[in-house]
Amino acid sequence: MTLNQWNENILILELLDEPDFSEDTDSILTTIKSENASFPHTIIDLQNVTNLNSSNLGALIEIKKLLHANDRRMIICNITDSIWSTMLATGLDQVFEFIENTPVALAMLTFEE
pLDDT in tens, 65-92: 999 998 999 999 999 999 999 999 999 9
**Does the predicted model carry a pTM greater than 0.85?**
yes
CATH class, domain 2-112, is alpha beta
4 forms bridges with which residues in the sheet?
Answer: 12
The pLDDT score that the predictor gives to residue 38 is 76
State how far the Cα of 11 lies from the Cα of 81, in Å rounded to an integer.
24
CB-based contacts of 19-23 (< 8 A; 24+ apart in sequence):
21/49, 21/52, 21/56, 21/59, 22/55, 22/56, 22/59
Q: Are strands 74-77 and 41-48 parallel, antiparallel or unpaired?
A: parallel
Phi, psi of 81 (to 5 degrees): -60, -35
State how far the Cα of 32 lies from the Cα of 26, in Å rounded to an integer.
10
pLDDT in tens, 1-36: 677 778 888 999 999 999 999 999 998 898 888 876
Domain boundaries, the chain: 2-112
